Structure 1
Amino acid sequence: MSEHKALILDETRKYHLDTQNDGGFVPGVSEIWPSGAVLDEDDRVALVEAALTMRIAAGHSSRKFESAFARKLKRRKAHLTNSGSSANLLAMGAFTSHLLEDRRLVPGDEVITVAAGFPTTVNPILQNGLIPVFVDVELGTYNTTAKRVEEAIGPRTRAIMIAHALGNPFEATEIAQLAEDHGLFFIEDNCDGVGSTYDGKLTGTFGDITTVSFYPAHHLTMGEGGCVLTANLALARIVESLRDWGRDCWCEPGESNKCLKRFDYQMGTLPEGYDHKYIFSHVGYNLKATDLQAALGLSQLAKLDSFVDARKRNWRRLREGLDGLPHLMLPEATPRSDPSWFGFALTVDPDAPFSRAELVEYLEDRKIGTRRLFAGNLTRHPAYINQPHRVVGDLVNSDIITMQTFWIGVYPGLTDEMIDYVVSTIQEFVGART
């Protein structure tokens, strides 16, 4: 490292420390966010160091992150994207590739998913001309069950795409077995659950493809960003092509003729020897991330285990503090799971002497941030009312979630003092109304 660069990075570290003017937590005044990024001086230095290289597109840091993240999540390949939403779009799109021949998904095929979730798990189904089949979830775990999924399998069902709700694993072993038994593709949306386990295995290792988000609310952040991971090299190659404009070439930008066959290909009706860097085998996108994002991701990845521990610790502190409080359903881990929690869900009993809205207003007035359990019942939103879909069974619990459920934070930026204030505030509210 040059002396000048070392000086810049040293000053960057000092600058970060100088800007940390933490006056301490003041109950009712200091904001308690439900989610957020936890960034330290190493993260700031990583960004500045990446900027100094002036490698502004995807490059060395991106490849290094993909390799490290794939090892961490026990998958063979990882492809960095510009968002978790894009990761889901690529994951679903991969199964429509002509390279899968007779197994490829075609418009009108059905994909089983849940009604109570986030739109980006469902949107790629519709965006690829496929039909979402909605099933209900369980209150408490906020996940669906293998039984519900099995009941939804019909003659046009070709795939399953489900997210681990708030980091709480669904019955991944059982659903993976259903997919295998029925010849279905299985996509795990692991955007909320990095570090969670089910049956002792990491979530994201059960499906054919898994996706992750690096939005600031999630376990790791790049500001924006996402990732598609798989153990299947053929699927990984399809994802890479779709992500990178749909091109057939696998050379990195800036590389030329790494395969030593750049001018030896004949594909489609192109002339013999057409430059492979400009042959396109898929109708793709440009959904790559940048090296600046990847540099931040590498710095964040070093802290993943401590982030996961903090999320679990904060969730337990909330769970123990609120245990036994009347009129509130507290969250439960799915049996045989160890969640890396994204949030702490609370469902107000419909017969309670107070409403969800009143409790949320009370918390928000005291600077305690809340969020709905994402979209609630997606089938009730204007975006989906006139979209083709199928519903199996009733969606009673999804409707209850729409009306009665919200969640509060457990992210690593929260302190014990903050968690205890949240607990005492909820106790105070409920106690005054019962």
Structure 2
Amino acid sequence: MNNEEKKLRIEIFENVKKIYKQRFKNDKFIPGETIIPFAGRVYDEKEMISLVDSSLDFWLTAGRNAEEFEDQFADFFGVKSCSLVNSGSSANLIALTTLTSPSLGEKRLKPGDEVITVAAGFPTTVNPIIQNGLVPVFLDVDVETCNVDANELEKAISNKTKAIMLAHTLGNPFNLDKVMEIVKKYDLFFIEDCCDAVGAKYKGKNVGSFGDIATVSFYPAHHMTMGEGGAVLTNDLKLSRIIRSFRDWGRDCYCEPGANDTCGRRFQMQMGTLPYGYDHKYIYTHIGYNLKVLDLQPAIGLEQLKKLPDFIKTRNNNFAMLKQMLLKYEKFLILPKATEHSEPSWFGFPITVKDTSPFKRNTIVEYLESKKIMTRMLFAGNITRQPAYIDINKRVVGNLEKTDIIMNDTLFIGVYPGIDDQRMKYISSIFDSFFERYV
């Protein structure tokens, strides 16, 4: 880059700062008028400048920003490998599909094998199981933690069980001691869906570093954002190679974009029934996808990653404030609790209306929404009751009684960093005004 271009870029970046300030100069909270989202992106001029800087390079596919982000994000989690993909949903698809690779030998997942998961969750934790011709085995959850009832795990085991795939719900880790005990006892693969739980810890160790593979989402609602985007993490370098193969069309070559002969044997291999010396860049050992990111996305992510520790701290502080303000209404509500031995990184604040309460969930949801406080259900509720999943090949352990409680009686509200003290005071006043008729 010559000096003239550097000078022009500096001028552009100064104007980007001005645009950011102009955009938010009149941004103020008006109680009862300003919507309080359950989640949202939090950023400043640094993300905008990084994005513009990357766009000016015009290296649109994954490049220098992707490589730098993958290294830093792997370090954050304390794992050896991070592979960026275009969404958290794609991350889950790649993670599960990786375990079907023929290179894993007899342990690989094959159609008809069973994967244990929960019915109370988000579809993209379950969909890859179905999409790979595997059978989801649905377990019930604990209402207070919204996580798998780990004491029921062993009941789900059959001679077809090959893997466990679970999400740390709303940033609250599930009982990893019990899960890992079952994983080791039955020699199972284990995928941790950390899309809602970046930065959460169990016994001082980051979630996402326990299983064979972990996944993350960078959708705007999550702990940090790239707009879209996701990541697949692992400590197993063999799995890392397979992950990147499935992400990159299924090719055997692992050259980064722009590289040509990383292995040093590009024209010196014989694979399948191809002729000797066939270009390694065009040899495919998996039936894969193209799920790469644009370099524009990790350009944003690198700035977001710098803010992530403060984001997590603010989320947890907001959670603590909400719990303190709602303790006086425990007569009516089941409030969330952290899993034993865990340090959550809260994504949301779940609230379950007790069946003895004089009102139903819809009553409080409609009231909060009317006061501009956004609410959400706990994702799919009981996914086995969703239209798309009624007739799938599945196995259900027990009657999913607690999952149905969550489906019927649970909502959650936001704790994201955009909720400041002023907004928190307003939320508190609205809850008080709702409950004054019942207390």
Relative to the length of structure 2, the TM-score reads: 0.97
Indicate conservation of the 8 Å contact 2:225/2:301, yes or no: yes
Indicate conservation of the 8 Å contact 1:169/1:337, yes or no: yes
Match of 1:340 among 337, 345, 363: 345
Partner of 2:24: helix, strand, or coil? coil
Counterpart for residue 249 of structure 2: 245
How far apart, in 1, do the equivalents of 2:165 and 2:26 lie? 42
Counterpart for residue 217 of structure 1: 221
Counterpart for residue 78 of structure 2: 74
How far apart, in 1, do the equivalents of 2:371 and 2:124 lie? 31
Partner of 1:267: helix, strand, or coil? coil
Counterpart for residue 138 of structure 1: 142
Counterpart for residue 433 of structure 1: 438
Counterpart for residue 360 of structure 2: 355
Number of positions where the alignment pairs a residue of Structure 1 with one of Structure 2: 434
Deviation, structure 1 residue 192: 0.3
2:419 pairs with 1:407: no
Match of 1:422 among 403, 419, 427: 427
Match of 2:55 among 47, 51, 57: 51
How far apart, in 2, do the equivalents of 1:421 and 1:335 lie? 31
Partner of 2:431: helix, strand, or coil? helix
Structure 1 segment 371-390 matched on structure 2, within 5 A: 371-390=376-395
How far apart, in 1, do the equivalents of 2:364 and 2:370 lie? 10
Indicate conservation of the 8 Å contact 1:58/1:288, yes or no: yes
| Aligned residue identity for 1:226 | G
| Aligned residue identity for 1:283 | I
Partner of 1:303: helix, strand, or coil? helix
| Aligned residue identity for 2:427 | V
2:292 pairs with 1:285: no
Partner of 1:371: helix, strand, or coil? coil
Q: Give runs of ≥4 in structure 1 deviating > 2 Å.
A: 21-24
Deviation, structure 1 residue 300: 0.4
Instruction: Write the deviation string for residues 319-360 of structure 1: whole angstroms up to 9, x where unpaired.
Output: 001112031111111111110000000001122111110110
How far apart, in 2, do the equivalents of 1:290 and 1:202 lie? 27
Deviation, structure 1 residue 11: 1.3
Partner of 2:166: helix, strand, or coil? strand
Partner of 2:328: helix, strand, or coil? coil
Match of 2:332 among 323, 327, 332: 327
2:271 pairs with 1:270: no
How far apart, in 1, do the equivalents of 2:134 and 2:318 lie? 39
Deviation, structure 1 residue 393: 1.4
How far apart, in 2, do the equivalents of 1:274 and 1:329 lie? 63
Counterpart for residue 239 of structure 2: 235
Indicate conservation of the 8 Å contact 1:169/1:198, yes or no: yes
Deviation, structure 1 residue 201: 0.8
Indicate conservation of the 8 Å contact 1:112/1:161, yes or no: yes
How far apart, in 2, do the equivalents of 1:407 and 1:104 lie? 38
Match of 2:174 among 170, 175, 191: 170
Indicate conservation of the 8 Å contact 1:173/1:199, yes or no: no
Task: Single out whichever of 400-409 and 322-331 deviates more from structure 2.
Answer: 322-331
Indicate conservation of the 8 Å contact 1:173/1:206, yes or no: no
Deviation, structure 1 residue 422: 1.2
Partner of 1:161: helix, strand, or coil? strand
| Aligned residue identity for 2:190 | F
How far apart, in 1, do the equivalents of 2:129 and 2:45 lie? 40
* Identity fraction in percent: 52
Instruction: Write the deviation string for residues 121-179 of structure 1: whole angstroms up to 9, x where unpaired.
Output: 00000001000000000011101132111221111100000000100000112212210
| Aligned residue identity for 2:45 | E
| Aligned residue identity for 1:112 | I
Instruction: Write the deviation string for residues 190-241 of structure 1: whole angstroms up to 9, x where unpaired.
Output: 0000011111111111111000000000001000000000000000000000
Cα RMSD of the aligned pairs, angstroms, is 0.9
Deviation, structure 1 residue 23: 4.2
How far apart, in 2, do the equivalents of 1:386 and 1:120 lie? 17
Partner of 2:244: helix, strand, or coil? helix
Deviation, structure 1 residue 35: 0.4
2:86 pairs with 1:86: no
How far apart, in 1, do the equivalents of 2:395 and 2:118 lie? 11
| Aligned residue identity for 1:286 | N
Match of 2:101 among 87, 94, 97: 97
How far apart, in 1, do the equivalents of 2:251 and 2:178 lie? 37
| Aligned residue identity for 2:367 | Y
How far apart, in 2, do the equivalents of 1:259 and 1:54 lie? 27
Instruction: Write the deviation string for residues 280-301 of structure 1: whole angstroms up to 9, x where unpaired.
Output: 0000000001100010011100
Q: Which runs of 5+ in 2 are unaligned?
A: none
Indicate conservation of the 8 Å contact 1:121/1:163, yes or no: yes
Counterpart for residue 258 of structure 2: 254
